[in-house]
């Protein structure tokens, strides 16, 4: 079965391509390399023994999207990762974010809805919940006004898909709301490749430990949490990738209830920033240099998933721990620095 993975050379996309190929799917990757490297293809091939078909296409170019689907009219599913994802940058460049994250989705759906029985998986985010009133966060928690243009693109993206599904009964879609993906493939052949100063905690930790950054700034030590630092639900990227295969199989086998579904993808366990640092120290034997500084604007106190729906309905649950994720991220950091 031919599956299109957009953004398939990126962090989550590349791990998902590996899991799809492990399950025997034929994968075609579209990526414009705006936030990834062509060498990721070698990493995927090294792990799976199969080199996925790759097309360098910018999904903002409508004619190229149309031409792609004319050439590949036997695609049975699309997993759409391609998007810009830096929250801070989205505040500075809102139109760039709306263009890249919204037009690409619209162009894809326009072509997909021409197919006989299209299956579509969308990368959404727990940012749609903002600071939820109740923890853990279920899929029924209200969507709160977005804190950034990036967050807004995920909310608008979900609405676009829901509206499209209402009038296209043959289109089957699942929006997956990720909590905090971290870690790397245990082989260290693929992982997260942040360009410039990392926006996320774990690459910042590993870059600090390897000496690229002087120390980690922990934003806020006075939150209403047991140790005063923010709490997040860190999910190993390999577990996250496997969830995409399960979601796709659900659609292909027609097991979905309704043609638009939403699932949280997290571990269900919240860990504070200090607990994440302790985990890193534990698995690496290092003592990470960090300093608690003032709060960062826009950060919420705590978010972790209620995983019941993903566990019971999707039939998926996480298998890897925070320590597993930290160990793999550290192995990956050492590998890329040695290169």
Ligand X SMILES: NC(=O)c1ccc[n+]([C@@H]2O[C@H](COP(=O)([O-])OP(=O)(O)OC[C@H]3O[C@@H](n4cnc5c(N)ncnc54)[C@H](O)[C@@H]3O)[C@@H](O)[C@H]2O)c1
Q: Which residues bind ligand X (CB under 6 A)?
A: 7, 9-13, 30-36, 58-60, 81-85, 100, 104, 123, 125, 178, 181
179 Cβ contact list (under 8 Å, min separation 6): 126, 232, 233, 234, 235, 264, 265, 266, 267, 303, 304, 305
* Closest-approach residue to ligand X (CB): 10
**Nearest-angstrom CA–CA distance, 149 and 82:** 16
Q: How far is the CB of 123 from ligand X (least distance, A)?
A: 3
Closer residue to ligand X, CB minimum distance, 56 or 295: 56
Cα angle, residue 211 at apex, residues 278 and 209 outer, rounded to 5°: 15
Pairing outcome for strands 234-236 and 180-182: parallel
Q: Is 313 helix (H, G, I), strand (E, B) or coil?
A: helix
Q: How many CB atoms lie within 10 A of CB 272?
A: 19
Active-site residue, 150 included: yes
Closer residue to ligand X, CB minimum distance, 136 or 266: 266
Q: How far is the CB of 117 from ligand X (least distance, A)?
A: 24
- What are the DSSP calls for 213-274, one per residue? SS-EEEE-S-SSSTTSS-EE-EEEHHHHHHHHHHHHHHHHTT--SSSEEEEEES-S--EEHH
Q: Is 13 helix (H, G, I), strand (E, B) or coil?
A: helix
Q: How far is the CB of 285 from ligand X (least distance, A)?
A: 27
Q: How far is the CB of 169 from ligand X (least distance, A)?
A: 26
Largest Cα span, the chain: 56
Closer residue to ligand X, CB minimum distance, 2 or 60: 60
Q: How far is the CB of 271 from ligand X (least distance, A)?
A: 15
Choice among 150, 223, 260, 304 that is catalytic: 150
What amino acid positions are annotated as catalytic residues? 150
């Amino acid at each position: 079965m031919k599956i299109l993975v957009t953004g398939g050379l990126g962090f989550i996309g590349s791990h998902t391509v590996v899991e799809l190929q492990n399950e025997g799917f034929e994968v075609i990757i579209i990526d414009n390399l705006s936030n990834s490297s062509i060498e990721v293809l070698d990493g995927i091939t090294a792990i799976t023994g199969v080199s996925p078909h790759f097309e360098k296409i910018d999904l903002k170019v409508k004619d190229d999207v149309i031409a792609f689907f004319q050439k590949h009219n036997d695609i049975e599913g699309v997993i759409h990762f391609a998007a810009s994802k830096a929250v801070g940058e989205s505040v500075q460049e809102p139109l760039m974010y709306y263009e890249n994250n919204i037009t690409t989705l619209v162009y894809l759906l326009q072509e997909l809805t021409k197919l006989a029985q299209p299956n579509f998986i969308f990368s959404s985010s727990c940012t749609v919940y903002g600071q939820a009133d109740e923890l853990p966060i279920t899929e029924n928690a209200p969507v709160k006004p977005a804190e950034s243009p990036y967050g807004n693109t995920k909310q608008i993206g979900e609405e676009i898909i829901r509206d499209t599904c209402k009038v296209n009964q043959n289109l089957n879609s699942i929006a997956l709301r990720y909590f905090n993906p971290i870690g790397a493939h245990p082989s260290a052949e693929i992982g997260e490749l942040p360009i410039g100063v990392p926006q996320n905690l774990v690459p910042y930790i590993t870059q600090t430990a390897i000496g690229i950054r002087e120390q980690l700034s922990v934003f806020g030590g006075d939150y209403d949490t047991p140790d005063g630092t923010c709490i997040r639900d860190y999910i190993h990227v390999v577990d996250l990738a496997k969830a995409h295969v399960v979601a796709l199989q659900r659609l292909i086998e027609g097991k979905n209830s309704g043609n638009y579904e939403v699932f949280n993808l997290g571990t269900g366990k919240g860990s504070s920033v200090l607990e994440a640092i302790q985990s890193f120290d534990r698995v690496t034997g290092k003592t990470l240099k960090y300093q608690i500084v003032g709060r960062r604007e826009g950060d919420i106190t705590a978010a972790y998933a209620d995983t019941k729906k993903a566990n019971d309905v999707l039939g998926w649950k996480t298998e890897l721990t925070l320590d597993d994720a930290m160990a793999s991220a550290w192995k990956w950091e050492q590998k890329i620095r040695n290169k």
